[in-house]
Structures are given as structure tokens and as C-alpha cells.
Structure 1
Amino acid sequence: MKNFLIIIAFSIALYSCGSGNINNNSNTGVSSNDTIRIANDSLEYEIIIIEPGFDSWLITQPKRGFYGQSLLESKNRSFVSEYNSRVLQPNQYSPNLYTEQINYDPAVDYGYEVNYLLYNYFVYFQDKYNQKFIGGRN
């Protein structure tokens, strides 16, 4: 299962490119602080989060280690399931927000860091785009 979480990056990148105000200044765009990349060659996955404001929002959240990995995995399974369900319902949920399914295999141990960032991205996504997921913090 190579690069299965890269789908989230494309989804976020596609949505981010089409949102917000257009500004013709040469210094606009996504800075390196707006991109978080995690890769593990042994598991053959990569997750890239490209979302303006996510990095600065993340530092205001509970620090790494606050949640246990099993809790994060449980929340991520639920969030991914709900997200993927919404991808399949473009008449009910915006295809601009829910562009592609996320391939998250609960049988794979992605490690703490991936689960921590994915969980926090889902919380951020819900807050920023006023979405409510079952079991979310909202």
C-alpha cells in the first residue's frame, strides 16, 4: 500500500488552491510553515498536510503524548470513515471539501506521530470548515 495517505495531501492541496481571496502580490502562497510532511519508507506511506494556518493552530493544541496512541487510532478510524462516506455523497457534502477518499488501514501501525497529526488535522478541518463529525471535539 504505497503512499496511501498522500490522497489527503492532494485533497487538501486542491481545496486550498481554490479557497480564499486571490492576491496578485508576488509574496503570496503557501509557506514552508504551512506544510507538514511525514514519511516512513519501511511502511511505504507518506502524509503531507498543506493547509494555511494548520501549523500555527497545531501549536495551540495539546502536546504530543497528551493522548494515547490507541485513542488517536480509534478517533482516526471514525473520522476517516465519516470523511470517506461524505466523499461518496457529493450531492449532500461539498465536493470542494471532500475530494478523494483517504486510505487508512486500521490493521497498520502508523505510529504515534502520524495518528497525532491526522487526528489534529481532522479537528482543525472541522473547526475551520464548520463540519461536524461523529465523535468530534465540536
Structure 2
Amino acid sequence: MSHNCTYVRQHYQVPAEIGRRVIAYGKPGVILADRGHYIGVVLDEDPKKRISNYHPTHEMQYGDMAETLPLKEWLVLPFNHAWDDLNWNREAREDLVRVWAATRGQAKYKAYERLQDYCHSIKAMLRFKVRRA
């Protein structure tokens, strides 16, 4: 989902949006993903900076927008496309994957996880192109 928590804001009447600080079950963090009925939060104390699902109203307190985010948004272009292909190749635009990760390598792997049904092996990930969103 990439609608920046629109459903959660409308259905649960909460100010959820990507980049907002929250306190989830007493632990501070930042919303980094729209997960349909849930919000994806990275807790400040998590050294691996994993996005975990939380219900938007259960033991959740909303704060201000974060000044910096613990993860970066990346664009991953798989399947032997080039960045220039995005201007004219519809298939390349459809294959583009947006992910949140700390490093380029993590971004490639997260894109691979989403696309592994279309990849013959994990070696396909080596050809993925990555850049900051």
C-alpha cells in the first residue's frame, strides 16, 4: 500500500501518516509504512530498524512529524531495466519497487522478497538497480 495511511486516517479517525512519531505500547517510534488496516512502525530501540505492524488505535499515541527518519526510501529497478527506460517503457515503470531500508543492499533484498515469485534465483537481485527516492 502506498496511500500514506489514508484508509487508517479515515476509518479509525487518527492522524496516522508516514513520518509521524508515535508511542506504540509505551515505546517511541516512527510510522514508515501503510499496511492497510495497520500502520508499519520502526521502534527507536530496534537496532535492526525493522518495520512492524501495529493497530492504529490499540495502545497508540500520536505525536508530531519526525525531523529525520530511521530508514530511507529507495527505488529499486529490477529485471535488466535501465533508469532511462522509465521515460518510455511502461513495463519498466510497472516493475519499479519502492522500499524503506537503511542501506542499498537492504533495499535490494527487500525488493527481492517482494518479487521472488518472478525471480529464478536470488542471483537476480545482483542486477537490481537502486537509488534514493
TM-score by length of 1: 0.24
* Greater radius of gyration (CA): 2
Name whichever structure is richer in helix by fraction.
1
TM-score by length of 2: 0.24
